[in-house]
Amino acid sequence: MSILLDDLSSREAGVPFMSPTPEEAPGPPVDARVVRTRNDILRTAVDVLVEQGLDAVTHPHLAQAAGYSRATLYNHWPSRNALLRDAFLLRGSGEHSTPAGDLRTDLIAELTKFRSEMEQHRIHRALAVLVTLTATTPDLADVRDKLVADGEHVLRELLAPVLAGPELEAAVLALSGTVLNAALFHGQLPSDAVIAATVDFVLCTVDRKRP
Amino acid sequence: MSILLDDLSSREAGVPFMSPTPEEAPGPPVDARVVRTRNDILRTAVDVLVEQGLDAVTHPHLAQAAGYSRATLYNHWPSRNALLRDAFLLRGSGEHSTPAGDLRTDLIAELTKFRSEMEQHRIHRALAVLVTLTATTPDLADVRDKLVADGEHVLRELLAPVLAGPELEAAVLALSGTVLNAALFHGQLPSDAVIAATVDFVLCTVDRKRP
């Protein structure tokens, strides 16, 4: 127990008054403890957001949940939006599959990975909050765009050799949209059969184009 | 100007202490002014939600925005969630197209109508808030399910004669998911060409099944 307390107090003591953000990368090296503190707090913020909702994401509540002082949180992030911005960027859009060379198998694997990220980390809840916030906080739109671009990049790379223009856009929107729609608006993740059927809708058109 | 004030004060005076909800329909007839008051406030709540975000949806702010007393609002809805529930149910999922008999034309018309509801009424913002709230307020799930079922029913009726099981589910999720995904996660509504391409993915599979 004393070890825990010691560890906690040393963490507190080691945090200088500075607010390094990923965009400020060039500059003096950031103390490893500062990075650890920041990431501890940001991960806690995402957990609290997903489990308890946006109203629970306050500096005092996060300070208690992450085991740091309120002053530390305010020093790093003067506003909740600043904290949420870094939390979303650290969390990212989740893991991806590794394409193996068969388009149908690879598309199904990528959507299945997307589904398991939702199942394990409930990233759809974080995404819903991000989208809700972006409606009234336009300066979060770049965070949303970054996460969405990262979230889609495997699908896009798989489909770019066989579709283009509006068809490529529609395929990316329909495939990821099926998983998002099920998770967010239907409260349940899509079954294997639904994922396969969605992939086959797109591949039917791809096949038809083949000479 | 005095007419407006008179009208406003008579509305205030005419509101008895009662909270009729759509589910309580059987019973004594509800005074038309009460219905008007309720609907005025609920419509204002959706407008405020869509324009200013969830934080702006408070009894005092809505009372001011709708031109009623705070007491009236608290009498009708003791909690914000109770008010939001009725507001979402009154708002509904928007207007639908009227199928004319050609499957491709009808599917495109329905998705185009969905897109225009988003464009004109920003219903995707209300939906995003509803989804976010449902994550931490499970008793709003039935409201979400009701709106989603109503939102999808034309698509489902159009596709039920030609698809079934996971293919039908996948088609409904992919078609509405394309529009939702574009509006919510990409910050822009899908083009005509993207809507047509998504419909054609599904119809390719439908055509292939034909003898």
Predicted pLDDT at B124: 85
Task: Give the residue from B176, B23, B164, B22 showing the smallest Cα distance to B96.
Answer: B176
What separation, in Å, do the N-terminal and C-terminal C-alpha atoms of chain A show? 70
The C-alpha of A175 sits at a distance from chain B's nearest C-alpha, in angstroms, of: 7
pLDDT band at residue A27, thresholds of 50, 70 and 90?
A: low
**Stated pTM of the model:** 0.83
Q: Which residues of B touch A123 (CB under 8 A)?
A: none
- For residue B175, the chain A residue with the least C-alpha distance is A174
What lies within 8 Å, CB to CB, of B193 at 6+ separation is A165, A166, A170
Which amino acid makes up residue B97?
S
Q: Cα separations (Å) of B27 from B1, B53, B74, B78, B155?
A: 37, 35, 22, 21, 36
Smallest CA-to-CA distance from B166 within A197, A35, A86, A200 is with: A197
Q: Which pair of structure tokens corresponds to residue A146?
A: 């970054």
Classified as helix, coil or strand, A133 is helix
Interface of B with A in 58-97 (CB under 8 A): none
In this predicted structure, the answer to whether residue A18 has a pLDDT above a threshold of 70 is: no
Q: Say how far residue A29 (Cα) sits from the centre of its chain.
A: 26
Q: Is A88 helix (H, G, I), strand (E, B) or coil?
A: helix
Beta carbons within 8 Å of A186's beta carbon, 6+ residues apart: B145, B148, B173
- Average pLDDT rounded to a whole number, residues B79-88: 93
Of A63-72, A170-179, B84-93, B190-199, give the lowest mean pLDDT range.
B84-93
Average pLDDT of B70-88? 94
Q: What is the 3-state secondary structure (H, E, C) of chain B?
A: CHHHHHHHHHHHHCCCCCCCCHHHCCCCCCCHHHHHHHHHHHHHHHHHHHHHCHHHCCHHHHHHHHCCCHHHHHHHCCCHHHHHHHHHHHHCCCCCCCCCCCHHHHHHHHHHHHHHHHHHHCHHHHHHHHHHHHHHCHHHHHHHHHHHHHHHHHHHHHHCCCCCHHHHHHHHHHHHHHHHHHHHHCCCCCCHHHHHHHHHHHHHHHHHHCC
CB-closest option in B134, B170, B187 to A198: B170
**Three-state secondary structure of A58-87:** CHHHHHHHHCCCHHHHHHHCCCHHHHHHHH
Give the one of A129, A144, A175 whose C-beta lies nearest to B185's C-beta.
A144
Q: Is B19 on the interface with A (CB under 8 A)?
A: no
Average pLDDT over residues A28-50: 88
**pLDDT band at B122, cuts 50/70/90?**
confident
d(CA B185, CA A145): 8
Identify the pLDDT of residue B29.
64
Pull the structure tokens for residue A91. Answer: 């969390």
Considering only residues 126 to 165 of chain B, which have any Cβ-Cβ distance to chain A shorter than 8 Å? 127-129, 131-136, 141, 144-145, 148, 165
Say which residue, B6 or B53, is predicted with more confidence: B53
The tens digit of pLDDT for each residue in B148-206 reads 999 999 999 999 999 999 999 999 999 999 999 999 999 999 999 999 999 999 999 99
Confidence label for A28 from pLDDT (cuts 50, 70 and 90): low
Measured CA to CA, the distance from residue A23 to residue A17 in angstroms comes to 18
Q: Which residue of B has its CA nearest to A209?
A: B204
* Tokens 């980390």, residue located: A121
Q: Are B193 and A129 within 8 A, CB to CB?
A: no
For the segment B31-40, what is each residue's pLDDT rounded down to a tens digit?
A: 888 889 999 9
**Residue A189: exposed, middle, or buried by beta-carbon count in 10 A (0-12, 13-18, 19+)?**
middle
**In the structure encoding, which two tokens stand for residue B180, read together?**
């939702």
What is the arithmetic mean of pLDDT over A30-38?
87
The answer to whether the CB atoms of B132 and A125 lie below 8 A apart is yes
Residues of B in contact with A167 (CB under 8 A): 197
Answer whether B180 touches A (CB < 8 Å).
yes
| Contact between A132 and B177 using a beta-carbon 8 Å cutoff | no
Contact (CB<8Å) A167/B129: no
CB contact under 8 A, A194 and B169: yes
**Min Cα–Cα distance to chain A from B124, Å:** 10
The helix/strand/coil state of A14 is coil
What per-residue confidence (pLDDT) applies to B52? 86
Cβ contact, residue pair B185, A180, below 8 Å: yes
- Tens of pLDDT, residue by residue over A129-168, are 888 888 878 889 999 999 999 999 999 999 999 999 999 9
Chain B residues with beta carbon closer than 8 angstroms to that of A193: 165-166, 170
**What does the pLDDT look like over B170-179, one tens digit per residue?**
999 999 999 9
Amino acid identity at A178: T
Residue A62 has pLDDT above 90, yes or no: yes
A contacts of B133 (beta carbons < 8 Å): 53
Q: CB distance B190–A178 less than 8 Å?
A: no
What CA–CA distances, in Å, run from A148 to A80, A143, A176?
A: 22, 9, 10
